[in-house]
Amino acid sequence: MAVYLEHFGLSQAPFGLTPNTGLYQALLPHDEAIQVLQTALKSGEGFIKVSGEVGTGKTLLCRKLLNEMADDYQFAYLPNPCLSAEQIHAALASELGLQIEANASSHSVLESIHHHLIELATQQRPVVLLIDEAQALSDEALEVIRLLGNLETEQRKLLHVVLFGQPELDERLATQQLRQLRQRITFSYRLRALEKDEVASYIQHRLHLSGYRGGPLFTAASLKMLTRASRGIPRLINILAHKVLMLCYGQGAQQVSVKMVKQAVADTEDAVRPQSQTSWLVLAVSACVAVAAAAWWSLSL
């Protein structure tokens, strides 16, 4: 638990790194992604893809989908993409609650899955396979998943597949050897980073849901710097905001300053660092030297 909760009157940590659907905010990129997923599933589409940079909220969306649509669908969730063909079949069978013998062949496991999917279809219970970090799947694994998408009756698909992955997934699907899977993807959405106003809303929303009721916690300048340093990526926003609140608490302050954000940025690997005064001084001195040298050269001619 964050040490600064009592200092700011918080009931929970507002900027944890574990995806927390209780703090979810329907900002435009995430709300659009949810709507695409819901529409695609209701349409009975086989393959759906959601891609986005590291930290843009793909896992949070996945969990949001699990929480909101669990009454209408039977979900199977595979968070670990580093699986062989046999392991994918076994993991799907386990998620569906099937009892599989230890020495069962891949074919028999697939047959059991197929029969169970047909049974669930008769109960009007569509099955959705959610795969996180899909960019890490091997070509063999992606082909296995494509073949799972072939399971169907004459009227409907028996299994819907949602792939969540980084932009590398888009690059891999663009290759010739994966064109069959690419053509099966009928709905896709690319998550973008948050814009300036969305970052401010995101921070305020999380603070409010976590119990904060004080005055503005960030100055306009400190919020601007945090927005730039995080590039609008929710995970980086969380990391930086958590660190500046720790600095606030450590200094007994009630408001985040620009200096605190600079310190947090300097301590965060992937944050965009502001150009320091020293670097500007070096550039200025270099420019002066260049001008002086040019003037001396022209006089000596």
Strand-pairing partners, residue 160, are: 128
The whole-number pLDDT of residue 290 equals 47
Backbone angles phi, psi at 199, to 5 degrees: -65, -45
Q: Which two tokens stand for residue 169?
A: 């997934």
CA separation for the pair 38, 183 (Å, rounded): 20
Whether residue 178 contacts residue 139, with contact meaning beta carbons closer than 8 Å, is answered with yes
The whole-number pLDDT of residue 72 equals 86
The whole-number pLDDT of residue 284 equals 37
| Max intra-chain CA distance, the chain | 94
Q: Is 83 helix (H, G, I), strand (E, B) or coil?
A: coil
CA separation for the pair 299, 240 (Å, rounded): 53
The whole-number pLDDT of residue 151 equals 85
CA nearest to 191, candidates 141, 146, 235:
235
In Å, how far are 40, 87, 141 from 82, measured between CA atoms? 26, 9, 9
CA separation for the pair 8, 250 (Å, rounded): 12
CA nearest to 40, candidates 77, 71, 73, 80:
73
Q: Is 35 helix (H, G, I), strand (E, B) or coil?
A: helix
State the CB neighbour count (10 A cutoff) for residue 73: 18
CA nearest to 237, candidates 204, 209, 259:
204
pLDDT per residue rounded down to tens, the chain (301 residues): 578 999 999 999 999 989 899 999 999 999 999 999 999 998 887 899 999 999 999 999 999 998 888 888 999 999 888 888 888 999 999 999 998 887 888 888 899 999 999 999 888 888 999 999 999 999 999 999 999 888 877 678 889 999 999 999 999 999 999 999 999 999 999 999 999 999 999 999 999 999 999 999 999 999 999 999 999 999 999 999 999 999 999 999 999 999 999 999 999 988 898 765 333 333 333 444 444 444 444 555 5
The whole-number pLDDT of residue 187 equals 93
What's the pTM?
0.84
